[in-house]
Structure 1
Amino acid sequence: MPLFKFTRHGGLRTGPSPHSPLPWIALIALILGGVALAFAWLAGWLGKDRLTAQRFTDAIEATGAAHPGFRRAHSKGVCVSGWFAPSAEAPQLSHARAFAQPRVPVLGRLSIGGGNPHGADNSARVRSIALQLSSDDGQQWRMAMNSFPFLAVPTPEAFYEQTRAQIPDPATGKPDPAKLAAIQARYPSARAFAQWAKSAPWTDSWASTEFNSVNAFWFTNAQGQRRAVRWRWQPQAAPRELDAAAREQAGVDFLANDLQQRLAQGPVRWNLVVTLANAQDAITDPSVPWPAEREQIVAGVLNLDRMQPQDQGSCNDLNFDPLILPDGIEGSDDPILAARSAVYSQSFNRRERERATDEAARDNQQQVRP
């Protein structure tokens, strides 16, 4: 007899005897066992060769110099805030409150790729946006998006392999070109990504940069229709391409300087463009782009009107976990999406400990001063 069954009124009722504690004991044991296994996996306790969030974060840290208290990736950025205004078409996609509330507060972060919090804007090929939309029903929608339209590799194991290939050789201080070449030889998507990096335009601003979800998600509307989607923030600002000379002249902090100047003139805006998958499209492989002719719906407009240095802004205390989602939006079974969530948590916890240690050290120094 099954452990659970539904009554004719739709309520949940336990097994053969409503007074027997055995089903509940079994259920509690099952839940606790699952939680223990999850923690063991994330901590790296199950199988020394298993790929875990801990090992993955270690590999990311090994690709560059240590910067305690900062994000392990996309370390340089600024905090931003504003609001999201959904379109009239948005509720047909999802019953998430963010698509029905007229104005949704937004807190976020604009950043560049790399693990150096003092990196140069004019040499960073990748730009990113991370956002938290907080609707009036108390739910949050967090997202972390990038300027590239697809990933270079299809699986977490390949992503880990790619990350390790970027670890500098102690003899040269640079990654081994043979290891990087081996990644491109093994994965066609890595070769396509390299081509994107060479040919995609360098735009003059975060405001003119398009950002992509890359991973797929599921939207469910009020009628119960469930569709696989990817989304992107399409800039309303007209892009201006920078050549190598213009980038050199722009300087190492030009993105933040440019954004500050734009915000002095008014909000900076992006359209939320949702792409609907067809049955044959890859849902669990973010290295495969979807065809450009897929149905697209403009679901609203992001308006950013303020910025702060990240060490002074509220975004510094946020983990932009892409699996923190409201009702009406679900993550897909893409294993890279799950890996991102786990690694973000690992990275966040490490930098929070580092910041706490640093604050405690400063407090001790102040106490011992005469």
Structure 2
Amino acid sequence: MVDPSSLPRRPPLGGAQLTLRLAGIAVIVAALGGAFAYVNGTLDPQRLTPDALVNVLEKNNGVHPGFRRNHSKGVCVAGYFESTGEASSYSSAQVFASTRTPVVGRFALPSGNPYAPDGSVPIRSLALRFTQANGQQWRTGMNSMPVFPVGTPEAFYQFQQAQLPDPATGKPNPTAVPAFFAAHPEAMPFLQWIKTARPSASYATETYNGINAFYLVNPAGQRQAVRWGVVPLSQDSADAMPAQGADFLEQDLVKRLAAGTLRWQLNITLAHPDDPVNDATKTWPSDRKVLNAGTLVLERTQAQDNGECRDINYDPLILPNGIERSDDPLLAARSAAYASSYLRRTGEVSQLPANQESRP
């Protein structure tokens, strides 16, 4: 055995050092406490809580045990990310070094109904989990729309309320959604996009946008506000939706991946100092510098009821060193609501019959 007395000893911390260390611990504890308070709704009894957000999604879409409360219908994918190194001077995250990083992802529809026909909405989503060699993870959720319709959790909640079925008719009030948009002019860019958006025939031909802003942080501590997205490198065009039944997207994806890998370029847009970083309803000017950060390569697909993505909570605030959140209020709300949804669906799995067990 090693004699403890023979080991080198660190000199005791001086008063100033000890004070700084304790202060640092206090800051971390306070931040964690604030996060948990938001999740539990204890900071302000009148504040919109994550459970309230998830409850209104359930009222609009029904409760489907074991499934996500939003983006319920999806399919798992797996592959890797290969960095170009272009983003490494902006961020210390290992994912941007010139190495391969394993990725587990999930394509999905933006609906709380896992049985919705693929052509029912024009929006497609892609969530990704990058697992670095040091064990740290980067999780991100992206959508095919360029902007979000609203900029705050409260407005999102009100938007969901406007879509609630009327108990008397079982259908939403036809005047509620137009009235909501009339009261929210910030939704105009989204409405302009949705007017011309059409359901595409394939997940593989879509561009997926991160929408929310984040910060890249380099080894010197310099911060750069960014948004990211992935652009398909396939030569296929985004065809109009064909008449292929309710589940053509997964069928198409399985067929494509059986023939070879699918690739997207990860683009990171650098903000100027006056670009909004806390409002997902606003785009940035098209002349902003864009980094080609690397290539997302998807190699295989898996059914969502038993694939790797099933048990992943794609929380956008799970970030590695070198990537930090912005002050966009939607980020904290998404993180907390995802946690509420995750706890519900994982708690329901054991109650399902064996032939229905699913935890997408």
Structure 2 counterpart of 1:44: 41
Query: Residues of 2 paired with 1:212 and 1:189: CA distance?
Result: 19
CA contact (8 A) 1:113 1:127 kept: yes
The correspondence for 2:85, drawn from 71, 88, 102, is 88
1:284-327 Cα shifts (integer Å, max 9, x gaps) = 00111111111101100000010011001011101000000000
Q: Which residue of 1 aligns with 2:289?
A: 295
Tell me, which stretches of 5 or more residues in structure 1 are unaligned? 1-6, 16-22, 364-370
8 Å contact kept, 1:216–1:284: yes
Q: Does the 8 Å contact 1:112/1:124 carry over to 2?
A: yes
| Letter matched to residue 84 of structure 1 | F
2: CA distance, partners of 1:166 / 1:334: 24
SS at match of 1:274: strand
1:251-293 per-residue CA deviation (whole Å, 9 max, x = no partner) reads 2111111111111121101000000001111100011111111
Aligned to 1:269: 263
For each residue in 1:119-178, what CA deviation from the matched residue of structure 2 results, as whole angstroms up to 9, or x when unmatched?
A: 111222211011110011111000111111111011111111111112111223222222
CA RMSD, 1 decimal: 2.8
Q: How many residues end up aligned between the 2 structures?
A: 346
Alpha-carbon distance between aligned partners in 2 of 1:255 and 1:361, rounded to the nearest angstrom: 24
The equivalent residue for 1:313 is 307
Matched, 1:134 2:131: yes
Q: Is contact 1:165-1:175 (8 Å) kept?
A: yes
Per the normalisation by structure 2, the TM-score is 0.88
Separation (CA, whole Å) in 1 of partners of 2:323 and 2:354: 40
Is the contact made by 2:38 and 2:336 (CA closer than 8 Å) also made in structure 1? Answer: no
**Alignment partner, residue 196 of structure 1:** 193
Q: Deviations over 1:12-56 (max 9, x none)?
A: 3228xxxxxxx97x9999977776665444233455432011111
Q: Does 1:232 align with 2:229?
A: yes
Q: Gaps spanning 5+ residues in structure 2: where?
A: 1-11
AA paired with 1:317? Answer: D
Note if 1:213 corresponds to 2:210: yes
Change (3 A) 1:32 1:97: closer
Do the aligned residues in 1 keep the contact of 2:149 with 2:186 (CA within 8 Å)? Answer: yes
**How many angstroms apart in 2 are the aligned matches of 1:126 and 1:222?**
37
- CA–CA distance in 2 between the matches of 1:250 and 1:29? 57
Q: TM-score, normalised by structure 1?
A: 0.86
1:258 matches 2:255:
no
Amino acid at match of 1:102: T
2:17 to 12, 17, 24: 12
Query: In structure 2, do the counterparts of structure 1 residues 284 and 250 end up closer, same or farther at CA, with 3 Å as the change threshold?
Result: same
Instruction: Please give the residue correspondences for 1:1-370 in structure 2 after superposition, counting only pairs within 5 Å.
Output: 12-14=17-19, 38-45=35-42, 47-243=44-240, 246-247=241-242, 249-358=243-352
Aligned sequence identity (%): 46
CA-CA distance at 1:358 after TM superposition:
2.9
Distance 1:31 1:134, change over 3 A: closer
Alpha-carbon displacement from aligned partner over 1:173-203 (angstroms, at most 9, x marks no partner): 2222222112211122323212211213543
Output the amino acid matched with 2:301: M
Whole-angstrom distance in 2 between the partners of 1:272 and 1:34? 31
Which amino acid in 1 is paired with 2:261?
P
Asked whether the 8 Å contact 2:122–2:198 carries over to 1, the reply is no
**CA–CA separation in structure 2 for the residues paired with 1:261 and 1:273:** 27
